[in-house]
Amino acid sequence: MSNILNYIWLVPLFPLIGFLINGLGRNFLSKTLVSFIACGALLASFVVSVYFFISVKEGNHELVKLFDFISVGKLSIPFEFQIDALSSLFLLIITGVGFLIHLYSTAYMHEESNAHYARYFAYLNLFVFSMLLLVLGGNYVIMFIGWEGVGLCSYLLIGYWFKNTDYNNAAKKAFIMNRIGDLGFLLAVFWIIQQFGSVSFGEVFANAESKSTAVLTGITLLLFIGATGKSAQIPLYTWLPDAMAGPTPVSALIHAATMVTAGIYMIARSNILYTLAPTTQSVVAVIGLATAIFAATIAIKQNDIKKVLAYSTVSQLGYMFLGLGVGAYTGAVFHVMTHAFFKALLFLGAGSVIHAMHHEQDIRNMGGLRKKLPITHLTFLLGCIAIAGIPPFSGFFSKDEILAAAYEASPVYWIVGVAGAMMTAFYMFRLYATTFLGNFRGTKEQEHHLHESPWAMTVPLIVLAILAVIGGFVGIPKVFAENAHSLEHFLSPIFTQSEELVKKDHALSHSTEYMLMGVSVALALIAILYAVNRYSKKPELQDAEGFGKVLANKWYVDEIYDAIISKPLKAISIFFNNVIEKSGIDGFVNGIGEGVQYASRQLRLLQSGQVGSYILLMVLGMIILMVVQFFIK
């Protein structure tokens, strides 16, 4: 049975083929054909992924070496896939949610022309391929290929409507921010090669305990810098809200459900390194927590439906990092999963609203959509409840697991975390109430065209809503039932090494845990009631003032970055261009050329055509050689 896993390369193969067909045939294929190829590729991948998942669930795991990728000196980097509990779970999320979003896109993108439609799906398939490469990679280098691949696709899809300069700038911003993180990742990989002489997960993790804490702290911090880029954490998070320039399904797939969780996947995969570097863990936890609360404050004052969701994503990613930082690896992965369900749902719901409103994204111009878009409304509401952490919806279980672990690490983490959770509930229901409750505030034209979306969009919403509701039951905490946390059981082989190192001296008592849950749920409920009550009747239509204005302007972080980094950099580059490049380097290079030309003109004169002078020069040469031979040397 275990050798069936050797066919794991099938999973990324389908989207790759889809990419090639749609990409190369974009000028010939009809939209129907393109949709079939793109969705079919994902469905095929999903079906095989389920098959492999079942096999892994039976206890199989495999390192599949496909071929030698790089072989230099003593270093050999094979092209290998690792299929185990962690990667198979991510396979399901990527291909499953990915398929739903592909299906949804067929309707959402229908207005595009044939060639652009095919281009969109080609990029989307390429993205899925890269993401699968990222999670299947059996070593850091293959992971890095996927890591760069998803970054590229993200860039291409954010700038999908490339005629709009703002969108192109957003794409560039995303790419550059990611590149800063990638530099950290690359340096970490080099350091790993230097320390371990290998990049394969198996070998690196097995030898991790023999390395000094300082080295591991350095490596893990650099890896974490990579993660802050890809997973939008402080200080590199600013690209993600701008990335909403892309089509909404792209935001759902790449900037909510999958790509942005790559950093969490990478750290969960490298968990042993982090467990051995407590300093880094603290950094991860603090950065995660700070991002969670910081982004939540910004989300409160945003009026663009997608921006709210974007900051919410940044905030939720912060919770996942908090989980990783306090050693709740299972909790972090659990939250990745539930977040994939409800955030994809929320984004697709937002897409449905935008679709109905003819590309209106400002919630101040919406309101009262409840009646016109019943399915969208209901599923969106379920998503909001899930993200707010109300039991028994999925978000409750995963967030609770992280918060409980945070409390164990330090009650301060828990207090800040719960405050963030409360804000989450508040801004989500502010969004919900402003959009769906109250009266319609848009133009007559828009009202006339309001309609529920076609089945290709509602079906994914319904499926994701169901998952968002029940997805949490795979991770029921111990307080409710012993051994009901099937996810933990499933993932345990990945985290055993870490768990053995951290001997838990005391688990939380049941009463404490009930108390923590009660407090967080109660606060969330209060926030929800307050938000619904306030915004359904009197939505916030004016621009914010005072402190609210600071929040609406995202704490002016973009402006600060511009002033302290971009502007000085630009000044330096102008200096380099004008002074060092033009007079220094160009002068040097052209000087060499001119010097050679000059020498050539002069040397040519030796070639006088006179035999006598030739012989003379030859004799001189002989004398010099003889002198060298006998006297100098």
444 near another protein, rule: CB under 8 A: no
Where does this chain touch another protein (CB under 8 A) — which range of 56-64, 141-149, 324-332, 619-627? 619-627
d(CA 322, CA 289): 6
- Shortest distance, position 49 Cβ to another protein, whole Å: 42
> Please, which of residues 191-220 interact with another protein by CB under 8 A?
none
603 near another protein, rule: CB under 8 A: yes
| Per-residue binder mask for another protein (CB under 8 A), 381-420, x = binder | ----------------------------------------
- Shortest distance, position 611 Cβ to another protein, whole Å: 5
Interaxial angle between packed helices 140-158 and 114-136, expressed in degrees from 0 to 180 and rounded to the nearest 10: 160
> Please, which of residues 560-599 interact with another protein by CB under 8 A?
596-597, 599
d(CA 174, CA 49): 30
Q: Which one, 412 or 626, has the nearer CB to another protein?
A: 626
Where does this chain touch another protein (CB under 8 A) — which range of 340-348, 372-380, 422-430, 610-618? 610-618
Continuous H helices in 25-76 = 31-57
d(CA 294, CA 318): 9
- Shortest distance, position 623 Cβ to another protein, whole Å: 11
- Shortest distance, position 77 Cβ to another protein, whole Å: 23
DSSP state of 326: T
Q: Which one, 526 or 624, has the nearer CB to another protein?
A: 624
Q: Which one, 72 or 606, has the nearer CB to another protein?
A: 606
633 near another protein, rule: CB under 8 A: yes
- Shortest distance, position 597 Cβ to another protein, whole Å: 6
- Shortest distance, position 226 Cβ to another protein, whole Å: 34
**Out of 39, 336, 629, 631, the residue judged to bind another protein by CB under 8 A:** 629
C-alpha distances out from residue 42 to 15, 48, 128, 250, Å: 6, 10, 8, 15
Where does this chain touch another protein (CB under 8 A) — which range of 4-12, 348-356, 540-548, 622-630? 622-630
Closest CA relative to residue 342, chosen from 301, 397, 292: 397
Contact 454, 105 (CB under 8 A): no
User: How much of the chain is in helix, strand and coil states, percent to nearest 5?
Assistant: 80, 5, 20
CA angle at 259 for the pair 256 and 262, rounded to the nearest 5°: 115
Q: Which one, 576 or 614, has the nearer CB to another protein?
A: 614
CA angle at 87 for the pair 85 and 89, rounded to the nearest 5°: 65
631 near another protein, rule: CB under 8 A: no
Where does this chain touch another protein (CB under 8 A) — which range of 67-75, 140-148, 290-298, 609-617? 609-617
439 near another protein, rule: CB under 8 A: no
Helices and strands, number each (H, E), in the chain: 28, 2
Closest CA relative to residue 434, chosen from 598, 628, 601, 302: 302
606 near another protein, rule: CB under 8 A: yes
DSSP state of 261: G
Where does this chain touch another protein (CB under 8 A) — which range of 255-263, 367-375, 528-536, 620-628? 620-628
611 near another protein, rule: CB under 8 A: yes
d(CA 71, CA 66): 14
Number of residues that bind another protein (CB under 8 A): 25
The dihedrals phi and psi of 410, each to the nearest 5 degrees, come to -165, 130
Where does this chain touch another protein (CB under 8 A) — which range of 408-416, 547-555, 568-576, 603-611? 603-611
- Shortest distance, position 324 Cβ to another protein, whole Å: 46
d(CA 148, CA 230): 10
Work out the burial of residue 599: count CB atoms within 10 Å of its CB; fewer than 13 is exposed, 13-18 middle, 19 or more buried.
exposed
Contact 365, 447 (CB under 8 A): no
Residues found near another protein in the complex (CB under 8 A): 596-597, 599-601, 603-604, 606-607, 609, 611, 614-615, 617-618, 620-622, 624-626, 628-630, 633
